[in-house]
Amino acid sequence: MPPEPPVFYYDVSSPYAYLAAHRVDALLPVAPRWVPIAFGALLLEIGKVPWSWQEGTVREGHMRECERRAAARGLPLVWPSGFPRATYSIPALRAVLVADEHGRQREMALALFDAGLGRGLNLRELDVLLDAADAVGVPRDAVAEGVRRPEIKARLRANTDAARERGVTGAPTIAVGDRLFWGDDRLEAAAKALATA
């Protein structure tokens, strides 16, 4: 039986996941399975306070680091107003799962990353989600209806629960078998682990 492919756990509100999403497919020697998770809900369940929820030098330091990495890679980075608490979006994650039903999960995730962190738009606004759907060829009405569908809500909860049970504590995380590589700066280590597996 072939080994399980690596898994890329992400949340479209995470700036480090934004950075990783733009290089993960090219960097890993095996194409990962993209799995959106409700990272905020996971954090509440495990009792972890992320850097983005902290005030002062810790948060500022991470924001400046994200800006440096984005600039070095030619990616725009515009912090949405009220980041992160006012911009965390469960509907955006559900929209990604709706797009997955149309074979466009990666494209939708990247469109939402680019809208939220690339252009500073608020992913809580339905029109932002629908415009992203338009841009990647997913019907607007499918997303507008789909973000309310019980099975989509259940799938996001299941993704998040499975990630927590696997030991995921950060976004992004690459899972390679039993090993977890947390952070944009750990993608190279994940790639090496895959290459030597």
Whether the link from the prior residue into 76 is cis, omega within 30° of 0, is: no
Domain boundaries, the chain: 7-195
Q: What is the pLDDT of residues 25-66, one digit of tens each?
A: 999 999 999 999 999 899 888 888 787 778 889 889 999 999
Name the H helices within 47-181: 57-72, 90-101, 105-113, 126-136, 140-146, 150-166
What CATH superfamily is the domain 7-195? Glutaredoxin (3.40.30.10)
Q: What is the pLDDT of residues 99-148, one digit of tens each?
A: 999 999 999 999 999 999 999 999 999 999 999 999 999 999 999 999 99
What's the pTM? 0.95
Backbone phi, then psi, for 167, in 5-degree steps? 105, 10
The pLDDT mean for the chain works out to 94
21-24: list long-range contacts, CB under 8 Å, 24+ apart. Answer: 21/109, 21/110, 21/113, 21/172, 22/73, 22/75, 22/110, 22/113, 23/73, 23/187, 24/172, 24/174, 24/187
More confident of the two residues 87 and 2: 87
Average pLDDT over residues 157-162: 98
Average pLDDT over residues 19-23: 98
Q: Is the pLDDT of residue 2 over 60?
A: no
Token pair for residue 68? 């440096």
